[in-house]
């Protein structure tokens, strides 16, 4: 899934794999699972944000701070919760891999459709070093796994997003950035880590205020013709694809903003008709929510602060229609005071009633915004939203965390339901709300051309417990009614040992039917230890596999992906 990036919370300071046994006492090691691929040139090494002069003065302090960090890990940490135990978190296909340079792939089944000429990215957390305890899955450094397709042939590449955090820690040889999810593990350990972080910042070991602190590990977006890797704890990082199928990190990007800002959602909404991008960020001080827009020219517009938010909600996603932006004020909140109790600042407020906030997408302020209570609705991922009845009804489709109490400490056990919600604009209330399936579904996607418009088909990942993707389904929203308990009209199971990722829909013909296209995703077989790139016919009643590409490296389970055609790469 996509995450709530742990590094969102740095301003508060200014699964079984034998290789992880005993790491509590061991120094961090560079990931070397594919050691033959670790020595390729780094295209951005020359752009390191720390000067050589400053690095020469750091060794003594760095060693001192590392010793303090080791002491905290070995002697002050409370017993590890399952959510921050790396032996559990980084087991199976969640374990990290090395970078892999552009490598030709073999098409082992079928043939790649011509509409797939371009690149498919999948982003996800992949720690650069075997972590010292404690560690949360959301903490991993962003790694892009990309397949480039041209004339039916494929090249695969895996590269880290060269964030400020990645570069600083790479030079030091061990992790130093704290985590909002994992660092607060008992009162003594929490207090010590706060003090250590302050010391590191004051002595110039790193500067998260100026340079950011995020991992860029959640998603990929094409904004105003440029590619970005995103994680909501920081600004996006611009990336580029080279002609030979490699990935280069260009740098952190603020969209030429006239107002300083440090972060944004990893789920911006791009209007395919206007080229505009809509986004938000949340804060730990008022205003707790800020809405903004990036024009088709790539320039950020003015902020729209939302002061009607009463607290900091861990708002991961939102929806945008042709008229409105809609935010879900969820029960997952940030309370910095929890740090004083030795606990992570994120918690679930069971007494809070979730709300939906509706605002004009071109609003200059929040004066016209209105809120409605939607009990037990905690949106994790949105699918789409649009207006009907001449604008009098808003329809939104999204995944709801039906077991919200498990979200922060037991995400692999949390269940999600795909829901349709209809809102009366005139009466300012929810008219109907119904599940679209009885199955546990998430990571729903549509034909991108229908973003913000009335669409019929949704493709979602079938989730098993513990949290793994075992197949993909197709839902027909036209079947949604009080009498229909399941809108699934097609499905594809990956088979024994196979686990997948979020699907992505690639249109076959822009002028064709809504479901005329292909679903693409990565799958991994934990029995044979092989990863594949699958292409499925979205129109087929069985979501038939039309092509399968054997990948030269393992693709760990990750978060969100994006397909970009060669035309967009060549003519941004």
pLDDT in tens, 465-521: 767 899 999 999 999 998 888 999 999 999 999 999 999 999 998 889 999 999 999
413 pLDDT band, cuts 50/70/90, is low
How many angstroms separate the CA atoms of 113 and 117, rounded? 8
411 pLDDT band, cuts 50/70/90, is low
Per-chain mean pLDDT for the chain? 88
State yes or no: pLDDT of 568 exceeds 90: no
pLDDT of residue 375: 96
52 pLDDT band, cuts 50/70/90, is very low
How many CB atoms neighbour CB 503 within 10 A? 27
The residue that leads in pLDDT, 546 or 23, is 546
220-265 confidence digits (pLDDT tens): 999 999 999 999 989 999 999 999 999 999 999 999 998 889 999 9
From 193, 165, 169, 168, select the one nearest 73 (Cα to Cα): 193
90-107 confidence digits (pLDDT tens): 988 999 999 999 999 999
Q: Is 267 annotated as a binding residue?
A: yes
Q: Is 560 annotated as a binding residue?
A: yes
How many angstroms separate the CA atoms of 441 and 416, rounded? 6
214 pLDDT band, cuts 50/70/90, is very high
State yes or no: pLDDT of 309 exceeds 80: yes
The mean per-residue pLDDT over the stretch 275-290 comes to 95
The fraction of the chain above a pLDDT of 70, given in percent, is 88
The residue that leads in pLDDT, 412 or 354, is 354
pLDDT of residue 11: 39
pLDDT of residue 43: 36
Buried (b) or exposed (e) across 19-55, using 16+ Cβ within 10 A? ebeebbeeebeebeeeeebeeeebbeeeebebeeeee
Cβ-based neighbours of 210, under 8 Å, separated by 6 or more: none
pLDDT of residue 403: 80
DSSP character for 218? S
- H or E element that contains 239: strand 237-241
How many angstroms separate the CA atoms of 273 and 300, rounded? 18
pLDDT of residue 41: 35
From 123, 126, 121, select the one nearest 137 (Cα to Cα): 126
pLDDT of residue 570: 80
Q: Is 283 annotated as a binding residue?
A: no
State yes or no: pLDDT of 23 exceeds 60: no
Buried (b) or exposed (e) across 339-352, using 16+ Cβ within 10 A? beeebbbbbbeeeb
Cis status, amide bond into 466, omega within 30 of 0: yes
pLDDT of residue 346: 87
Range ranked top by mean pLDDT from 49-53, 60-64, 545-549: 545-549
State yes or no: pLDDT of 350 exceeds 80: yes
457 pLDDT band, cuts 50/70/90, is very high
Flag the least confident range among 50-64, 117-131, 222-236.
Answer: 50-64
State yes or no: pLDDT of 143 exceeds 50: yes
State yes or no: pLDDT of 339 exceeds 90: no
Q: Is 381 annotated as a binding residue?
A: yes
State yes or no: pLDDT of 38 exceeds 80: no
State yes or no: pLDDT of 50 exceeds 60: no
From 207, 209, 140, select the one nearest 179 (Cα to Cα): 140
pTM score of the predicted model? 0.89
pLDDT of residue 456: 97
358-380 confidence digits (pLDDT tens): 999 999 999 999 999 999 999 99
| Number of Cα atoms under 13 Å in the Cβ half of residue 553 | 27
The fraction of the chain above a pLDDT of 90, given in percent, is 73
44 pLDDT band, cuts 50/70/90, is very low
pLDDT of residue 379: 95
pLDDT of residue 59: 80
State yes or no: pLDDT of 405 exceeds 70: yes
């Amino acid at each position: 899934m996509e995450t709530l990036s742990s590094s969102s919370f740095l301003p508060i300071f200014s699964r079984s794999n034998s290789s992880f046994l005993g790491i509590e006492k061991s120094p961090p090691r560079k990931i070397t699972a594919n050691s033959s691929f670790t020595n390729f040139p780094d295209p951005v090494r020359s752009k390191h944000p720390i000067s050589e002069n400053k690095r020469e003065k750091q060794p003594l302090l760095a060693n001192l701070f590392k010793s303090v960090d080791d002491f905290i890990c070995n002697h002050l940490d409370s017993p590890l919760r399952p959510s921050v135990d790396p032996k559990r978190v980084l087991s199976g296909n969640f374990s990290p891999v090395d970078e892999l340079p552009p490598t030709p792939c073999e098409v082992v089944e079928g043939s790649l459709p011509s509409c797939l000429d371009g690149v498919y990215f999948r982003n996800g957390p992949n720690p650069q070093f075997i972590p010292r305890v404690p560690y949360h899955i959301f903490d991993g450094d962003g790694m892009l796994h990309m397949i480039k397709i041209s004339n039916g042939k494929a090249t695969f590449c895996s590269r880290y997003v060269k964030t400020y955090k990645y570069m600083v820690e790479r030079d030091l040889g061990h992790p130093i950035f704290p985590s909002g999810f994992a660092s607060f593990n008992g009162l003594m350990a929490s207090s010590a880590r706060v003090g250590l972080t302050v010391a590191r910042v004051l002595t110039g070991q790193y500067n998260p205020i100026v340079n950011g602190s995020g991992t860029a590990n959640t998603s990929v977006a094409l904004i105003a013709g440029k590619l970005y890797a995103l994680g909501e704890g920081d600004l996006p990082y611009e990336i580029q694809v080279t002609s030979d199928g490699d990935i280069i990190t260009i740098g952190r990007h603020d969209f030429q903003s006239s107002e300083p800002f440090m972060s944004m959602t990893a789920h911006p909404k791009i209007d395919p008709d206007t080229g505009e991008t809509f986004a938000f960020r949340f804060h730990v001080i008022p205003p707790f929510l800020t809405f903004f827009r990036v024009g088709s020219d790539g320039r950020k517009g003015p902020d729209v602060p939302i002061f009607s938010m009463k607290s900091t909600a861990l708002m991961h996603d939102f929806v945008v229609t042709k008229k409105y932006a809609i935010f879900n004020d969820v029960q997952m909140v940030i309370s910095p005071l929890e740090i004083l109790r030795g606990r992570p600042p994120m918690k679930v407020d069971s007494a809070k009633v979730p709300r939906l906030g509706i605002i004009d997408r071109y609003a200059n302020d929040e004066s016209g915004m209105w809120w409605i209570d939607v009990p037990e609705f905690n949106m994790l991922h949105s699918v789409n939203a649009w207006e009907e009845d001449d604008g009098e009804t808003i329809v939104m489709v999204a995944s709801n965390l039906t077991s919200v109490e498990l979200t922060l400490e037991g995400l692999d056990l949390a269940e999600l339901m795909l829901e349709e919600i209809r809102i009366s604009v005139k009466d300012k209330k929810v008219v109907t709300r119904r599940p679209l399936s009885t199955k546990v579904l998430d990571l729903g996607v549509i034909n991108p051309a229908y973003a913000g418009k009335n669409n019929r088909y949704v493709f979602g990942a079938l989730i098993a417990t513990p949290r793994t993707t075992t197949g993909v389904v197709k839902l027909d929203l036209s079947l949604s009614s009080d009498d229909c308990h399941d809108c699934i009209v097609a499905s594809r199971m990956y088979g024994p040992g196979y686990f997948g990722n979020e699907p992505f829909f690639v249109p076959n013909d822009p002028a064709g039917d809504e479901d005329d296209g292909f679903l693409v995703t990565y799958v991994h077989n934990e029995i044979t230890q092989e990863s594949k790139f699958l292409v499925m016919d979205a129109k087929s009643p069985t979501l038939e596999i039309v092509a399968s590409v054997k990948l030269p490296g393992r693709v760990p389970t990750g978060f969100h992906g994006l397909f970009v055609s060669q035309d967009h790469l060549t003519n941004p």
